[in-house]
Amino acid sequence: MRHKWVAMLVTLGVTAACAAPLPQLASNAQSVQVASSRVKANTWTDEVMYFIVTDRFNNGDRSNDKDVEPNNEWGYHGGDIAGVIAKLDYLKAMGVTTVWLTPWIDNDDIPLNLSGGRKLWGFHGYWPKDNQAVDEHLGTMATARSFVQEAHKRGMKVMQDVVLNHTGYQHPWGKGHKDPQDPHYNWFNHMGDIKNWDDPFQSVHGDLAGLPDWNQDIPEVSNYLIDNANWWVKQTGVDGLRVDAIKHVDHAFWRKFTSGVKSQNPNLMLLGEVLHGDPNVVAGYMRDGFDSMFDFPLYYGITDVFARGQSARKLGSLLGQDGAYPDGSFLTPFIDNHDVPRFMSVAGNNGKERLKGALTLTLTVRGMPCIYYGTEAGLKGGGDPENRADMPWNNLDADLTAHIKRLTSLRKQFPALGNGKQLEMWQDDQVYAYSRQAASEEVFVVINTGDRPVTRKIQLRAESKLADGTRMTDQLGGQSIAVDGHSISVTLPARQQAILTVGTAARKR
């Protein structure tokens, strides 16, 4: 979750209406041991995740179109969980196996006033008001359960987005967080808004845009948040939790949280978000018990190399730091999301070809790849809210969609692309190449990130078992090459890639 819009906020629209108290969940008074269980990487690295800002995706139920303002980029546009259910077959056909939605928890109902008379609503889902209800703009608890069930019928998994750093402005316990007489006053931090985002203490104890900041050092708070997460898993049957803004909460809580959740749901996938470019910082949260982290360091590299035309050596440098992580093969690479500008808004000329190259890397590199909704349409958009535009169902890009389908199909045909060991084969300013090796399978990926055609003679790794004379076929371009002198010679046009597999013919698309 990003908060660059903070400076634009002026005042609360009106005084928040009093909400009913939340039900008190059973509290875990006993101390919790740090969990050693981690879901098996190969049960998730084979997945292809698709991320949806639910309100902007598809309107499947007109009866919940309360407050809809399609011309207000900060407002509700009518997308809902029923709309996602209606598009599950579309996602499955594209090769998506896991769906992650923005939080469906009940959010603030009163907008914030912005400059120029505009109103900012909680369409994004990150202003929790009622921790045990689905937002009425998105559906009901029954709708959420139906979504999970329908996804499971199609062999797809579901990630629920949860917010544990803060409450919304209208949360019944958070509204009094500045009043020392309020019974929940000590449940929140009181530093005020974060002013220095590089100060770790402020980052953890400060408010994000005035949102009441939970004090997880209080046992009642930490136990409540853990119990609530377990409650949602039990209610809906989701397969994993994507946890928002975790760098704004102390590591001690995350160790307790991951243990408390894993003790009830050992096979639950925990995916954390830390918007930071240093692998060592991101790795620290993985050591707290998160199974996976969004690979923001690689995201910055992908943007610099593919969109901005910087040296491809940056990819090698970043991937070479995988040893910093408890399990670098279990990261979640991505191209863009709701907190950063869309790739196509950063890329210059030949943007679509550059995007296809970035997709090839993201869907063949180690980890569980994540695709942001609208990528298949080549959507553009700078910062929030431009990067959260409506899904253009009448203007999808057939070429980009076909490229994504081809890549997801290859992941299914060649399991090494999902769970094989990754070994770098070549790097220079324009070309990056690597192999994915499983027990009985090797796949080579060669990417020309530059604007000139290239030919490279690439030495195979010592670990390769391919003998001289072995024929390999490019599953993207169709060229056939042979291993010679324990090396391969690959020619690629500008901004093109090759995925080389053993055999003399390309697999059916």
Of 352, 434, 446, residue with least CA distance to 401: 352
Residue 138 forms beta bridges with which residues?
A: none
Residue 375 lies in a domain: yes
CA atoms within 13 A on the CB side of 242: 24
299 vs 17, higher pLDDT: 299
Q: Looking at the structure, do residues 332 and 459 belong to the same domain, yes or no?
A: no
pLDDT (tens digit per residue) in 368-424:
999 999 999 999 999 999 999 999 999 999 999 999 999 999 999 999 999 999 999
Q: Looking at the structure, do residues 249 and 278 belong to the same domain, yes or no?
A: yes
The answer, yes or no, to whether residue 6 has pLDDT greater than 60, is no
* Mean pLDDT (whole number) for 65-78: 96
pLDDT the model gives residue 509: 54
Of 101, 69, 65, 106, residue with least CA distance to 85: 101
Q: With 0-12 CB in 10 A as exposed, 13-18 as middle and 19+ as buried, what is 116?
A: exposed
pLDDT band at 118 (very low <50, low <70, confident <90, very high): confident
Does the predicted model carry a pTM greater than 0.85? Answer: yes
Indicate which CATH number applies to the domain containing 430. Answer: 2.60.40.1180
pLDDT the model gives residue 37: 56
Please tell me the total count of domains within the chain.
Answer: 2
Residue 19 lies in a domain: no
Q: Looking at the structure, do residues 450 and 403 belong to the same domain, yes or no?
A: no
pLDDT (tens digit per residue) in 221-231:
999 999 999 99
Q: Provide the greatest CA pair distance for the chain.
A: 80
The answer, yes or no, to whether residue 335 has pLDDT greater than 50, is yes
The 3-class secondary structure across 378-439, one letter per residue, is CCCCCCCCHHHCCCCCCCCCHHHHHHHHHHHHHHHHCCHHHHCEEEEEEECCCEEEEEEEEC
pLDDT band at 43 (very low <50, low <70, confident <90, very high): confident
Cα distance between residue 20 and residue 171, in whole Å: 9
Q: Find all residues with CB under 8 Å of 507, minimum gap 6, and list them.
A: 409, 410, 413, 475, 501
pLDDT the model gives residue 508: 59
Domain end: 413, 430, 455, which one?
A: 413
The answer, yes or no, to whether residue 4 has pLDDT greater than 80, is no
| Residues 143, 133 contacting (CB under 8 angstroms) | no
Q: Looking at the structure, do residues 406 and 340 belong to the same domain, yes or no?
A: yes
pLDDT (tens digit per residue) in 121-138:
999 999 999 999 999 999
DSSP per-residue letters across 83-111: HHHHTHHHHHHTT--EEEES--EEE-SSP
| Residues 405, 94 contacting (CB under 8 angstroms) | yes
Q: Looking at the structure, do residues 307 and 405 belong to the same domain, yes or no?
A: yes
pLDDT (tens digit per residue) in 134-182:
999 999 999 999 999 999 999 999 999 999 999 999 999 998 899 999 9
Instruction: State which residues form the domain around 348.
Output: 27-164+216-413
* Mean pLDDT (whole number) for 420-442: 97
Residue 13 lies in a domain: no
pLDDT (tens digit per residue) in 444-490:
999 999 999 999 999 999 999 999 999 999 999 999 999 999 999 99
Q: Find all residues with CB under 8 Å of 90, minimum gap 6, and list them.
A: none
Q: Looking at the structure, do residues 362 and 489 belong to the same domain, yes or no?
A: no
pLDDT band at 358 (very low <50, low <70, confident <90, very high): very high
Domain end: 379, 413, 447, which one?
A: 413
pLDDT the model gives residue 435: 99
Residue 345 lies in a domain: yes
Q: Looking at the structure, do residues 426 and 341 belong to the same domain, yes or no?
A: no
Cα distance between residue 299 and residue 346, in whole Å: 13
Q: Looking at the structure, do residues 132 and 83 belong to the same domain, yes or no?
A: yes
pLDDT the model gives residue 506: 66
Indicate which CATH number applies to the domain containing 78. Answer: 3.20.20.80
pLDDT the model gives residue 92: 99
DSSP summary character for residue 305: I
Q: Looking at the structure, do residues 382 and 429 belong to the same domain, yes or no?
A: no
- Range of lowest pLDDT (7-21, 85-99, 181-195, 376-390): 7-21
pLDDT band at 20 (very low <50, low <70, confident <90, very high): very low
Q: Looking at the structure, do residues 409 and 480 belong to the same domain, yes or no?
A: no
Q: Looking at the structure, do residues 239 and 296 belong to the same domain, yes or no?
A: yes
Residue 189 lies in a domain: no
pLDDT the model gives residue 14: 26
Alpha-carbon dihedral sign for residues 372, 373, 376, 377: negative
Q: Looking at the structure, do residues 294 and 437 belong to the same domain, yes or no?
A: no
∠ CA 4-10-11 to the nearest 5 degrees? 125
* Mean pLDDT (whole number) for 295-309: 99
Domain end: 356, 380, 413, which one?
A: 413
pLDDT the model gives residue 114: 85
Residue 16 lies in a domain: no
Q: In whole numbers, what is the pLDDT of the chain averaged over residues?
A: 92
Residue 287 lies in a domain: yes
Residue 445 lies in a domain: yes
Cβ neighbours around 255 below 10 Å, total? 18
